[in-house]
Amino acid sequence: MQITAAVAIAPHSDFAIQTLDLDIPRAGEVLVRILGVGLCHTDLVFRDQFVPLPLPAVLGHEGAGVVEAVGEGVTELAPGDAVVLGFSSCGHCPRCDDHLPSYCREFVPLNYAGARPDGSSPLSRDGTPVSGAFFGQSSFASHAITHHRNVVKVEAGDDLAILGPLGCGLQTGAGAILRSMDCPPGSTVAIFGGGPVGLAGVMAAHLRRCARIILVEPLAARRALGLELGASEVIDPAAGDVAGALRALLPQGVDFALETSGREAVVEAALASLTSRGLLGLVGVPPKPDSAVSINLAGLITFGHRIIGIVEGDSDLQGFIPELVALYRAGQFPFDRLVKTFPLNQINAAIAAQHRGECIKAVLIP
């Protein structure tokens, strides 16, 4: 079938809206009509070749929509089902067996290769393959082919088009607090960055009844929204010594820190803000693959500081995404306050709006 898609043509260049050919679903695959897809920073770093994904490519990995067809062997889904799309995993490695599919042994080839496991792409143009299967979906398009393991059935509703970001950015921030770090009630948390991931972390920490939730964010509007969503205090990093400002609020430091920017100096400030046995969770994509930070090993040992990398908030898609949908629809996880919708053919305007700070989470509507 022919579909409309936003195609990444070259690094640091605008996406092009093109008509492409999409395969019918093979065994184990599902065809989804996309109603909305989140625009994530990860899409842009892949377009810009942080990881060498072959271009041209259809990116997009926060899709939501309606099942239109299923391939052989798919029994848990049927045409008409409302769904949210997530990341790919193999389903049979030790991490998948532990219900931690975001640490699947095959995560990189399944999500970053731009192709199915057999090397084929479901997308082409005039007979020439176009990289697809990005995060198992490539949902910057009117339709996507995905594997049934990526697909989470949800209750249909008027909000279906904006649920896609639950499949990556929002589950990453919320899961970091609720799952990866498992911040207990009464604990103290500093969150570095007030974008979609950081503000999802703020909402999750508020849900978890953390005693102090401190948001570090340079944009005044995002600091104000953070306070409305549950932050107890905010810090403008432009003021200078962020670790010092945090310790002025909590002299012993914070129990947990969540770093969402990937910037080396911010990671070091987050580590310097921890209390004894404090835990730092890292989710931000760094500026380059070999980015590194300086760590005082004696201090790390003396104070028992812990650092963990976090992928997708330790989510198991079939359990965590329905949980977040239920919290959202109960008014306890109001992520819709972060969302602004754009037509898919205005993807470049949406990217510019996010870059200017005018939009926290863009959702593209095909």
pLDDT digits (tens, 9 = 90+) for 77-94: 999 999 999 999 999 999
Residue 164's pLDDT band (boundaries 50, 70, 90)?
A: very high
Listed range (165-179, 266-280, 281-295, 344-358) with the worst mean pLDDT: 281-295
Q: Reply yes or no on whether the pLDDT at 321 is more than 90.
A: yes
Question: What is the structure's pLDDT at 346?
Answer: 98
Question: What is the structure's pLDDT at 240?
Answer: 86
Burial class for 38, CB neighbours closer than 10 Å (0-12, 13-18, 19+):
buried
Which residues 6+ apart lie within 8 Å of 200 measured at CB? 169, 170, 171, 172, 173, 174, 333, 335
CB half-sphere exposure, 318, CA atoms < 13 A? 13
Query: What does the alpha-carbon distance between residue 120 and residue 337 come to, in Å, rounded to a whole number?
Result: 39
- Average pLDDT rounded to a whole number, residues 309-332: 97
Q: Reply yes or no on whether the pLDDT at 72 is more than 90.
A: yes
Question: What is the structure's pLDDT at 3?
Answer: 98
Question: What is the structure's pLDDT at 4?
Answer: 98
Per residue in 183-241, pLDDT (tens digit) is 999 999 999 999 999 999 999 999 999 999 999 999 999 999 999 999 999 999 998 89
- Average pLDDT rounded to a whole number, residues 62-89: 98
- Average pLDDT rounded to a whole number, residues 71-75: 97
- Average pLDDT rounded to a whole number, residues 167-172: 96
Q: Reply yes or no on whether the pLDDT at 148 is more than 90.
A: yes
Q: Which domains does the chain have, with CATH numbers?
A: 2-167+334-365 (3.90.180.10), 175-310 (3.40.50.720)
Per residue in 245-304, pLDDT (tens digit) is 999 999 999 999 999 999 999 999 999 999 999 999 999 988 888 889 989 899 899 999
